[in-house]
């Protein structure tokens, strides 16, 4: 059984302090939470940033830099940067892709449009083509976010067209109110469509977090945790730190007998070059 990659999704761009007082907002809070997750066993952090004044999500390169620099300096984490834009803001393709010039290891690529949070999460074919080109230019591996089967079809077509290069890495997002449900059958169907050598991880939204994580544990997949996807640690009880979610998966994996991948092992599993030490 392959070692388990735990990704921590620290904050997202939607959730405010009205929903939970524990959501990291400032670059300092996001960085600190990411470091706690790394110490707890996460090898990848999925990073959105917020405008420190308004708390709203932003694609401002400078704010991303204020998170990435300390993470590069203090940890060997793989950094997965979002390119999803900000809900309701309709950012241009260039605005969405601007921060990837900071060269994160991975960047999310949402492989199609879908209703989300009361609006439309727009990912046009033009965006997908441009993003894959820009990622290639900066040596970034795409993390292919899949909300339904059609997005998988899109990725397989882009692979056939040579726009996505093996080995592909997928992040299944199951249990959003408008996308594929978080059920074992849905996961099996997506899994059946994985191309050769692909790796995959899973996000179970909200109460689906643990059931989907257990499926991934048994099926040799990887697991994403964190406040972007799930505010509650257990029924009615808010999670107070992202690291709590990481610690729980580490404990369960230990009982199950699956080892946790350190960041350099995660690079190997994902088919990425080893990190050259900067210190
Ligand atoms: Zn995200």
| CA–CA dist 157, 128 (Å, integer) | 12
- Tell how far the Cα of 275 is from the centroid of ligand 1, in angstroms: 24
End-to-end CA distance of the chain: give it in Å, rounded: 33
- Tell how far the Cα of 49 is from the centroid of ligand 1, in angstroms: 10
Cβ neighbours around 18 below 10 Å, total: 8
Tell me, yes or no, if the pTM score tops 0.95: yes
For 162: left if phi > 0, alpha if psi spans -120 to 50, otherwise beta; the answer is left
- Tell how far the Cα of 58 is from the centroid of ligand 1, in angstroms: 12
Res 73: pLDDT: 97
Res 118: pLDDT: 83
- Tell how far the Cα of 102 is from the centroid of ligand 1, in angstroms: 17
For each of the chain's 279 residues, which pLDDT tens digit applies?
999 999 999 999 999 999 999 999 999 999 999 999 999 999 999 999 999 999 999 999 999 999 999 999 999 999 999 999 888 788 999 999 999 999 999 999 999 999 988 889 999 999 999 999 999 999 999 999 999 999 999 999 999 999 999 999 999 999 999 999 999 999 999 999 999 999 999 999 999 999 999 999 999 999 999 999 999 999 999 999 999 999 999 999 999 999 999 999 999 999 998 876 554
- Tell how far the Cα of 276 is from the centroid of ligand 1, in angstroms: 27
- Tell how far the Cα of 229 is from the centroid of ligand 1, in angstroms: 8
- Tell how far the Cα of 12 is from the centroid of ligand 1, in angstroms: 5
- Tell how far the Cα of 144 is from the centroid of ligand 1, in angstroms: 12
- Tell how far the Cα of 9 is from the centroid of ligand 1, in angstroms: 7
- Tell how far the Cα of 163 is from the centroid of ligand 1, in angstroms: 22
- Tell how far the Cα of 113 is from the centroid of ligand 1, in angstroms: 15
| CA–CA dist 279, 267 (Å, integer) | 19
Res 180: pLDDT: 97
Domain boundaries, the chain: 6-269
- Tell how far the Cα of 84 is from the centroid of ligand 1, in angstroms: 7
- Tell how far the Cα of 3 is from the centroid of ligand 1, in angstroms: 23
CATH placement of domain 6-269: 3.20.20.70
- Tell how far the Cα of 80 is from the centroid of ligand 1, in angstroms: 9
């Amino acid at each position: 059984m392959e070692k388990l990659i735990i990704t921590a999704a620290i904050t997202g761009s939607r959730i405010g302090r009205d929903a939970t007082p524990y959501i990291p907002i400032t670059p300092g809070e996001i960085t600190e939470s990411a470091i706690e997750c790394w110490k707890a066993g996460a090898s990848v952090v999925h990073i959105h940033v917020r405008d420190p004044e308004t708390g709203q999500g932003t694609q401002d390169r400078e704010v991303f830099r204020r998170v990435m620099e300390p993470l590069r300096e203090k940890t060997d984490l793989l950094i997965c940067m979002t390119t999803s834009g900000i809900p309701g803001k309709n950012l241009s393709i260039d605005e969405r892709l601007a921060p990837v010039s900071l060269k994160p290891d991975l960047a999310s690529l949402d492989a199609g449009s879908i209703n989300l949070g009361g609006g439309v999460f727009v990912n046009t074919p033009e965006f997908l083509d441009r993003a894959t080109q820009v990622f290639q230019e900066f040596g970034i591996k795409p993390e292919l976010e899949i909300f339904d089967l059609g997005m998988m079809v899109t990725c397989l077509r882009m692979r056939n067209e040579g726009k996505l290069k093996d080995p592909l890495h997928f992040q299944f997002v199951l249990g959003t109110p408008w996308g594929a449900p978080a059920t074992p059958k849905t996961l099996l169907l997506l899994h059946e469509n994985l191309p050769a050598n692909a790796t995959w991880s899973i996000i179970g939204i909200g109460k689906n977090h643990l059931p989907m994580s257990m499926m991934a544990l048994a099926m040799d997949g990887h697991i994403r945790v964190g406040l972007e996807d799930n505010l509650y640690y257990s029924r009615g009880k808010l999670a107070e730190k992202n690291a709590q979610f990481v610690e729980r998966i580490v404990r369960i994996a230990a009982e199950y007998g699956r080892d946790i991948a350190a960041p350099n092992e995660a690079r190997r599993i994902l088919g990425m070059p080893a990190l050259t030490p900067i210190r």
